[in-house]
A and B are shown apart, each in its own frame.
Chain A
Amino acid sequence: MKVGLFIPCYVDAFFPEVGVATLELLERLNVDVRYPLNQTCCGQPMANSGCEEDAAPVEKLFVKNFASFDYVVTPSGSCTHHVRDHLTAIPQDPKVQKVRRSTFELVEFLHDVLKVREFPWARFQHKVGLHIGCATLRALRSASMSELGGPSWSKPRTLLSGVEGVEFVNPARPDECCGFGGTFSVVEEPVSAKMGYDKVHDHAKAGAEYIVSPDMSCLMHQKGCAERLGVKVKFIHIAQVLNGARA
Chain B
Amino acid sequence: MKRVDHAEASSRFIAAKEHVDFHDQRLWDLRQKRDREAALIPEWEDLRSLASAIKEHALSRLADYLEEFERNATANGMTVHWARDAAEHNQIVHDILAAHGARTLVKSKSMLTDECDMRPFLESRGIEIIETDLGERIQQLDDEPPSHIVVPAVHKLRGDVARVFGRTIGTDPANSDVPYLAESQRRHTRPYYLRAGAGMTGANFAVAETGSFVVCTNEGNADLSANLPKLHIASIGIEKVIPRVEDVGVFVRLLSRSALGSPITQLTSHFRKPRPGTELHVILTDNGRSERLGMADFWYSLKCIRCGACLNTCPVYRRSGGLSYGSTYSGPIGVIIDPAFNLRKYSSLPFASTLNGSCTNVCPVKINIHEQIYRWRQLIAERNQLPMVKKEAMKMAGKVLSSPKLYRAAVQAANAGLEYLPRFMIYNPLNAWGRQREVPKAGRQSFREWYLANRGGK
Contacts of A194 in B (CB 8 A): 14, 20, 319
Which residues, 406 to 458 on B, are CB-close (under 8 Å) to A? 407, 411, 414-415, 422, 424-428, 431-433, 435-443, 445-452, 455, 457-458
Sample (17) of A-B pairs whose CB atoms are under 8 Å apart: A13-B442, A13-B446, A19-B451, A46-B424, A50-B350, A50-B381, A61-B401, A134-B358, A147-B35, A177-B315, A181-B354, A187-B428, A194-B14, A198-B24, A223-B440, A224-B439, A228-B436
Which residues, 141 to 181 on A, are CB-close (under 8 Å) to B? 145-149, 173, 175-177, 179-181
Nearest B residue to A221 by beta-carbon distance? B437
Is B377 part of the contact surface with A, judged by Cβ < 8 Å? Answer: yes
Decide yes or no: A46 and B319 within 8 Å by CB, A9-B407, A16-B443 being known contacts.
no
Complexed CA–CA distance, A188 and B350 (Å): 11
Is B391 part of the contact surface with A, judged by Cβ < 8 Å? Answer: yes
Chain B: interface size category: 35 or more
Is A35 part of the contact surface with B, judged by Cβ < 8 Å? Answer: yes
Which residues, 118 to 157 on B, are CB-close (under 8 Å) to A? none
Instruction: Find out whether the CB atom of B315 lies under 8 angstroms from the CB atom of A46.
Output: no
Instruction: Find out whether the CB atom of A173 lies under 8 angstroms from the CB atom of B28.
Output: yes
Nearest B residue to A195 by beta-carbon distance? B315
Complexed CA–CA distance, A139 and B424 (Å): 24
A193-217 to B contact mask, C-beta < 8 Å, 1/0: 1111110000000000000000000
Complexed CA–CA distance, A43 and B458 (Å): 26
Question: Which of A180, A191, A194 lies at the interface centre, i.e. has the most chain B CB atoms within 10 A of its CB?
Answer: A191
Instruction: Find out whether the CB atom of A10 lies under 8 angstroms from the CB atom of B397.
Output: no
Instruction: Find out whether the CB atom of B438 lies under 8 angstroms from the CB atom of A228.
Output: yes
Decide yes or no: A186 and B425 within 8 Å by CB, A11-B447, A50-B377 being known contacts.
yes
Nearest B residue to A196 by beta-carbon distance? B437
Is A37 part of the contact surface with B, judged by Cβ < 8 Å? Answer: yes
Pick the residue among B425, B449, B451 that contacts A185 (CB under 8 A): B425
Instruction: Find out whether the CB atom of A86 lies under 8 angstroms from the CB atom of B446.
Output: no
Instruction: Find out whether the CB atom of A12 lies under 8 angstroms from the CB atom of B433.
Output: no
Instruction: Find out whether the CB atom of A193 lies under 8 angstroms from the CB atom of B436.
Output: yes
Instruction: Find out whether the CB atom of A183 lies under 8 angstroms from the CB atom of B425.
Output: yes
Q: Which of B5-13, B285-293, B330-338 contacts A (4 or more CB under 8 A)?
A: B5-13
Is A79 part of the contact surface with B, judged by Cβ < 8 Å? Answer: no
Q: Which of A52-60, A93-101, A117-125 contacts B (4 or more CB under 8 A)?
A: A52-60
Q: Nearest 9 CB-CB pairs, A to B?
A: A54-B398, A181-B354, A224-B437, A50-B381, A50-B377, A19-B447, A57-B402, A147-B361, A134-B356
Instruction: Find out whether the CB atom of A187 lies under 8 angstroms from the CB atom of B358.
Output: no
Contacts of B379 in A (CB 8 A): 50
Q: Nearest Cβ in chain B — how far from A221, in angstroms?
A: 7
Pick the residue among A51, A146, A195, A224 that contacts B438 (CB under 8 A): A224
Decide yes or no: A12 and B448 within 8 Å by CB, A51-B398, A138-B358, A191-B14 being known contacts.
yes
Q: Nearest Cβ in chain B — how far from A33, in angstroms?
A: 10
Complexed CA–CA distance, A146 and B415 (Å): 40
Instruction: Find out whether the CB atom of A51 lies under 8 angstroms from the CB atom of B391.
Output: yes
Contacts of A52 in B (CB 8 A): 378, 381
Instruction: Find out whether the CB atom of B394 lies under 8 angstroms from the CB atom of A46.
Output: yes
Complexed CA–CA distance, A191 and B400 (Å): 29
Complexed CA–CA distance, A227 and B315 (Å): 22
Q: Nearest Cβ in chain A — how far from B121, in angstroms?
A: 34
Complexed CA–CA distance, A123 and B422 (Å): 34
Instruction: Find out whether the CB atom of A186 lies under 8 angstroms from the CB atom of B426.
Output: yes
Is B313 part of the contact surface with A, judged by Cβ < 8 Å? Answer: yes
Pick the residue among B20, B377, B433, B440 that contacts A189 (CB under 8 A): B433
Q: Nearest Cβ in chain B — how far from A191, in angstroms?
A: 5
Contacts of B173 in A (CB 8 A): none
Pick the residue among B7, B35, B45 that contacts A191 (CB under 8 A): B7
Q: Nearest Cβ in chain A — how far from B28, in angstroms?
A: 7
Instruction: Find out whether the CB atom of A227 lies under 8 angstroms from the CB atom of B438.
Output: yes
